[in-house]
Structure 1
Amino acid sequence: MSKPLKQIHLAAHFPGVNNTTVWSDPKAGSHIEFSSFAHFARTAERAKFDFLFLAEGLRLREQGGKIYDLDVVGRPDTFTVLAALAAVTEHLGLTGTINSTFNEPYEVARQFASLDHLSGGRSAWNVVTSWDAFTGENFRRGGFLPQDERYSRAKEFLATTGELFDSWRGDEIVADPATGTFLSDAKAGSFVHSGQHFDINGQFDVPRSPQGRPVVFQAGDSEEGREFAASSADAIFSRYATLKEGQAFYADVKRRLAAYGRTPDQLKILPAATFVLGDTDAEAEELARDVRRRQVSGATAIKHLEFVWNRDLSAYDPEGPLPDIDPDVQDHHIAEGRAQVRMYRDPLATAREWRELAAANQWSIRELVIHTGNRQTFVGSPATVAGAIDELVQADASDGFILVPHLTPGGLDAFADQVVPLLQERGVFRTEYEGPTLRHHLGLAHPDDVRNEREAS
């Protein structure tokens, strides 16, 4: 008997962070005007996507003491934008990154519960931590937490917000819908929490939201991140969008769920993915090369190399050879607030590998960065891209993808009009939304139903 087809989950990330977006393209628009967010969200909803994802940065990043000129200059507040988008969409999920290192459980729970009410049950929270003191300088608790404490705080933060959401459980709170007065003796919103990181008690003032709790996303590839996702998240962002690596990540994270009394369908795995479409595969390949060259200017290439070398390389020609000097491996990093610095855990080994690649292919600094940087995930005609997405999902390399177009705000339009219909024809993507909440879109049970099932068993 053949295996039933998996339904593909698709989402859209509003681009702009790092050098993903091609700002030089005449079709590129604003990253701060609401019209850009509205266009992007309406396109995603027209295509029946699960959700829109909005990242958040708590400080503009610097390199060499100057604002990184390829970063987003001006980043509006996540909650404000998502609340505004709730008014111009009806079905699309609204996902935002909110930091657990520099916020407090009560305020975050209150904001997400409010957004869930405003949107009719479409909110989601991407829980992240922050490792750098550079960002911490913007907050009263300046500084940073070691990795084990970051995840310890994040787990308690998430558990505490859950207690706040659950303080208005529907089976315990009974009210007269006409007057709003309580008919039971239950004290709505009452909570007490005492732990390592938080010691709070009081009353939560936002009633139970349509989803019970917002959907929880987590992004992290470390051992701690994978375990955190398996224990507490509804979905995890993955950096693995290829078959072999994707299948290994998928199997590893899904395997961990059983230890927490969870089943594989209770956690969705969604890698980020870029795409370039053309009328033919050859045209798309040519366009992809052009996009990569526009994403990686000479200045960008030098800045990227500085992430590894941890030195000022501004005197080097981006069209010339790599530096002979070795990376500086001291703890201070030239790129303040750049998470990428931590991606290269052995800069000396990375430098050796890159020199070998450059020598073997006669690449300049810029050519090396173009070839070793983030490549487009899906390149080809609409039929080719639809087939590639379907193949990876059916092979359990992912449950779907979060698409990151290289143009703002119209970069999603062609995918919505040309690829989505082909996935629908294959029977692997919805033609209409199945329900009103984001949990419906993702095939996730209501938290109360999960709790009741556990108690019954």
Structure 2
Amino acid sequence: MSKRQVHLAAHFPGVNNTTVWSDDRAESQIAFSSFEHFARNAERGLFDFLFLAEGLRLREQKGRIHDLDVVGRPNTLTILAALAGVTDHIGLVGTLQTTFNEPLELAKQLATLDHLSGGRAGWNVVTSSDAFHGANFRRGGFLDHADRYIRAAEFVDTARDLWDSWQADAVVVDRASGRFADRSRIRDVDHHGPQFDVTGTFPVPRSPQGRPVVVQAGDSDEGRHLAATRAEVVFSLHTEFEDARRFSEDLRARLQRAGRSADDLVILPGATFVLGDTTAEAEERARAIRRAQVSPATAIAFLEQVWNRDLSAYDVDGPLPEVEPDLDGGPITRGRVRHVRDVEPLVRGWRERAEAEHLSIRDLVIEVSTRGGFVGTPEHIAAEIDRYVQARATDGFVVVPHTNPYGLDEFVGRVIPLLQERGVYRQAYDPDATLRQTLGLDAA
């Protein structure tokens, strides 16, 4: 029986608490040289695709621009188009909103990227009901939270209808008259739904993949439903083995209920890694990295997001604040996804843990905020990745380095060859493959 093959994607490090900007080799998160190095190195590692996040507004805390956003958040599609010119095989996936975009314009941009890259474009579908972000747009924050995924589902359906409106052979080459589009092979789109009215002819011919690959990263029940009904790749937060397996089983069951095959969706949790020549060295490096990820200022800022209070007077190496969270005041943090729904029991649990384990503010934040991942020798990490995939807990991982732009280099140099030796990872790209084919997905 042949082994299941590992799929890997590379997440460009930048605006998150895992990026260590104090590292001596850290460079700009907006300079093209950073994106180019990261993309070329991910392609050297034969990754399926690279993955860029996008922000629509700089995050704020207590009226100040959040420190990790200080050098800006550039446009994803522009960067991916530029990277198409300096890479040959790796997929190019960008995070793009359904709340503040329109289907025709975004479908046109993605189809254009797919043409420019020779069939390597992908779209990470995200939503927002945040009025803070919405204030940058004409509609403001009008969208109710419950309607986010209703709009997203209709958005994806409309974009696919636009992409599918051209037959593959609609563009005709005639030696006498030149190149033209056969109108009989182009279908006008006539969509009328609760979110969108779109009528007319899509302006871009069918792209090399038929349509770009759709990625989804939401973890709510609505997000999982969108993934099971419309996505082709899901980027999850479930990294621990049993948690990852439960998530995968849930998604596979949802796929079946939606009338789709288990192979119609590639599941890739995000995972960090720390390598060492020995287990002890890797664990020591991991402790140092976690401490660098959570600077004193970052620890206080993290706690303030939960307490919803100014805690700058507290000693980061001292105990948790005795003051209770402010549950009624306006939020002091704007633009950040708030994952905490029930603050009081969370804070109570943190206090119990901090007292039992003698943890300072910074120690506790390190324990509860740093991303789970793989720590160990290259051999150990390769074996763990293989174990997850063979057990169908995942189909692979989105690798999230902790430094920019060189953080992926060590993984490519030391882990990828071991996966190849195990026979679970490609030795080379198929030179003619689209991203859809690289991922093992059916043709669109």
Tell me by how many angstroms 1:9 deviates: 0.3
Which deviates more, 140-149 or 438-447?
Answer: 140-149
Which deviates more, 290-299 or 18-27?
Answer: 18-27
Give the match's secondary structure for 2:149.
helix
Residues 376-395 of structure 1 correspond to what in structure 2 (within 5 A)? 376-395=372-391
C-alpha spacing 1:189/1:15, structure 2 compared with 1 (3 Å): farther
Residues 82-121 of structure 1 correspond to what in structure 2 (within 5 A)? 82-121=80-119
- How many residue pairs end up in the alignment? 441
What do residues 95-121 of structure 1 show as CA deviations (whole Å, max 9, x unaligned)?
000000000001100000000000000
Query: Partners of 1:187 and 1:375 in 2: how far apart?
Result: 49
Which deviates more, 123-132 or 252-261?
Answer: 252-261
Runs of at least 4 residues off by over 4 Å: none
What do residues 327-386 of structure 1 show as CA deviations (whole Å, max 9, x unaligned)?
1223732110110x2x11110011000000100011100000011112440111111111
Aligned to 1:279: 277
Aligned to 2:345: 349
C-alpha spacing 1:177/1:134, structure 2 compared with 1 (3 Å): farther
Do the aligned residues in 2 keep the contact of 1:238 with 1:270 (CA within 8 Å)? yes
Residues 204-243 of structure 1 correspond to what in structure 2 (within 5 A)? 204-243=202-241
Tell me by how many angstroms 1:261 deviates: 1.9
Query: Partners of 1:384 and 1:235 in 2: how far apart?
Result: 26
Aligned to 1:454: none
Do the aligned residues in 2 keep the contact of 1:301 with 1:369 (CA within 8 Å)? yes
Aligned to 2:443: 446
Aligned residue type for 1:374: T
Matched, 1:336 2:349: no
Do the aligned residues in 2 keep the contact of 1:125 with 1:216 (CA within 8 Å)? yes
Which deviates more, 317-326 or 360-369?
Answer: 317-326
What do residues 37-88 of structure 1 show as CA deviations (whole Å, max 9, x unaligned)?
0000000001100000000000000000110113352111101000000000
Aligned residue type for 1:402: V
C-alpha spacing 1:293/1:7, structure 2 compared with 1 (3 Å): same
Question: Alpha carbon RMSD of aligned pairs, Å?
Answer: 1.3
Which deviates more, 306-315 or 56-65?
Answer: 306-315
Please point out which of 414, 429, 435 is paired with 1:433: 429
Aligned to 1:455: none
Structure 2 portions without partners, runs of 5+:
none
Output the TM-score relative to the length of structure 1.
Answer: 0.94
Residues 269-418 of structure 1 correspond to what in structure 2 (within 5 A)? 269-330=267-328, 332-339=330-337, 341=338, 343-418=339-414
Aligned to 1:181: 180
Aligned to 1:71: 69
Tell me by how many angstroms 1:186 deviates: 1.1
Query: Partners of 2:247 and 2:70 in 1: how far apart?
Result: 31
Do the aligned residues in 2 keep the contact of 1:16 with 1:72 (CA within 8 Å)? no
Please point out which of 163, 166, 169 is paired with 2:164: 166
Do the aligned residues in 2 keep the contact of 1:276 with 1:376 (CA within 8 Å)? no
Aligned to 1:453: none
Give the match's secondary structure for 2:9.
strand
C-alpha spacing 1:275/1:177, structure 2 compared with 1 (3 Å): farther
Query: Partners of 1:177 and 1:51 in 2: how far apart?
Result: 36
Give the match's secondary structure for 2:68.
coil
Do the aligned residues in 1 keep the contact of 2:171 with 2:205 (CA within 8 Å)? no
Tell me by how many angstroms 1:421 deviates: 0.3
Tell me by how many angstroms 1:436 deviates: 2.1
C-alpha spacing 1:321/1:296, structure 2 compared with 1 (3 Å): same
Give the match's secondary structure for 2:180.
coil
Give the match's secondary structure for 2:227.
helix
Q: Report the identity percentage.
A: 59
Please point out which of 219, 244, 247 is paired with 2:245: 247
Do the aligned residues in 2 keep the contact of 1:15 with 1:21 (CA within 8 Å)? yes
Tell me by how many angstroms 1:8 deviates: 0.4
Tell me by how many angstroms 1:402 deviates: 0.4
Do the aligned residues in 2 keep the contact of 1:241 with 1:273 (CA within 8 Å)? yes
Do the aligned residues in 1 keep the contact of 2:127 with 2:148 (CA within 8 Å)? yes
Query: Partners of 1:217 and 1:28 in 2: how far apart?
Result: 29
What do residues 409-452 of structure 1 show as CA deviations (whole Å, max 9, x unaligned)?
111111101100000000011011134210111000111xxxxx
Query: Partners of 2:70 and 2:382 in 1: how far apart?
Result: 31
Tell me by how many angstroms 1:279 deviates: 1.4
Aligned residue type for 1:241: T
Do the aligned residues in 1 keep the contact of 2:30 with 2:71 (CA within 8 Å)? no
Query: Partners of 2:292 and 2:129 in 1: how far apart?
Result: 31
Query: Partners of 2:173 and 2:83 in 1: how far apart?
Result: 31
Do the aligned residues in 2 keep the contact of 1:93 with 1:122 (CA within 8 Å)? yes
Do the aligned residues in 1 keep the contact of 2:244 with 2:393 (CA within 8 Å)? yes
C-alpha spacing 1:442/1:375, structure 2 compared with 1 (3 Å): same
Give the match's secondary structure for 1:411.
coil
Query: Partners of 1:208 and 1:185 in 2: how far apart?
Result: 13
